[in-house]
């Protein structure tokens, strides 16, 4: 999920002008809820991924993007991550 968010930032130009962009998975001060429900089965590959960009831009620390995301295996959501309120 983080790699897809990084790809989004690179593809949309948020990292333009940075010679060696580095990514921090969670910005200090942001509360995140992470839910894990276990794998759908042994050695299963994800069959569906959903990611919604909820915020993006630039601040004093540089470019950023925030997303809610989930990962599905065999029709069951096994991972979900979202910014807490």
User: Percent of the chain having pLDDT more than 70?
Assistant: 88
E-assigned strands of the chain? 32-36, 48-59, 62-73, 76-83
- 75 or 12: which leads in pLDDT: 12
For the whole model, what pTM was predicted?
Answer: 0.72
In a domain, 24, yes or no: no
Question: pLDDT digits over 36-64, tens only?
Answer: 876 655 556 667 788 999 999 988 888 98
Distance CA 5, CA 9 (A): 6
H/E segment holding residue 80: strand 76-83
In a domain, residue 57? The reply is yes
Q: Is residue 50 part of a domain?
A: yes
Q: Is 23 a domain residue?
A: no
CA distance 64 to 13: 11
Report the number of distinct structural domains present in the chain: 1
Dist. CA 42–CA 47, nearest whole Å: 14
Distance (Å, whole) CA 71 – CA 79: 5
Split at pLDDT 50, 70, 90, the class of 12 is: very high
Range of the domain at 60: 2-17+31-83
């Amino acid at each position: 999920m983080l790699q897809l968010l990084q790809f989004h930032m690179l593809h949309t130009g948020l990292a333009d002008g940075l010679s060696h962009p580095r990514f921090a998975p969670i910005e200090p001060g942001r509360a995140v809820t992470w839910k894990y429900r276990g794998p759908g089965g042994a050695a299963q590959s994800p069959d569906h991924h959903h990611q919604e960009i909820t915020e993006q831009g630039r601040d004093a620390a540089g470019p950023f993007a925030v997303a809610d995301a989930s990962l599905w295996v065999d029709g069951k959501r096994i991972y979900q991550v979202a910014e807490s309120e």
